[in-house]
Amino acid sequence: MVVNSLKSLNQLASFLRVQPGKITLNEDTLPTRVVNKTTVSGYVNIILQFTKEGNSELEGCNNLEKAEVRQWIEYALLYATQGEVNPSSSQLLKELNTILSSKTYLVSHKLTIADIFLYYVLQNTLENLTILEKEKYVHISRWFDNMQQNSSIRQSNKLVNFNTLYLASLAPARH
């Protein structure tokens, strides 16, 4: 969890074109970021500080959206960052798939920092799903594929293949 979360923080900083600074973990695995003698502690606080420093409008437009963005970041930290280690990752994917069945983005109808952070957190999980599993979680797959099409978000991450034509080559139809 910690390595994946720290990597996600660094990717967010890179996306927003802000200096990640020196990020260290204390004994409780709580990150602390130091930049220009300014100290910020906690994942959510660091992410929101990145957003402010990047002069980004990705935090939400009103108080409700800002609260939802914070909740999604916390959700990603509590559940999604443990998905690779925890056998309940299929439950997480089912839940996210249901939530994304009627949405393009997590909050409102536009991209937020929560979408971008969750994209980074889920990168390895989605990359390791089989084609059949990706089809099972069609809404997450659609959301993730939408996110990865933005090269500034994707950065150096591999493009995850969502091509369903692969299945046709494995099991050709017979007439």
Per-residue pLDDT at 6: 84
Least confident of 15-24, 42-51, 80-89, 124-133: 80-89
Per-residue pLDDT at 169: 54
Tally of structural domains, the chain: 1
Per-residue pLDDT at 147: 97
Amino acid (one-letter) located at 111: L
What is the pTM assigned to this prediction? 0.86
Q: How big, in percent rounded to 5, are the helix, strand and coil portions of the chain?
A: 60, 5, 35
In a domain? residue 175: no
In a domain? residue 160: yes
In a domain? residue 95: yes
Per-residue pLDDT at 173: 54
Better-predicted residue by pLDDT, 25 or 43 = 43
In a domain? residue 89: yes
At 103, which CATH number? 1.20.1050.10
* Selection from 124, 119, 169, 117 nearest residue 149 by Cα: 119
In a domain? residue 67: yes
β-bridge partners, 33: 23, 40
Q: State the pLDDT confidence band at 11, using cuts at 50, 70 and 90.
A: very high
Torsion of CA 16, 120, 40, 73, to 10 degrees: 110
Encode pLDDT of 42-73 as tens digits: 999 999 999 999 988 999 999 999 999 999 99
Mean pLDDT of the chain: 86
Encode pLDDT of 99-140 as tens digits: 999 999 999 899 999 999 999 999 988 998 888 888 899 999
Residues 117 and 126: their CA atoms lie apart, in Å, by 14
Q: Range of 138's domain?
A: 2-170
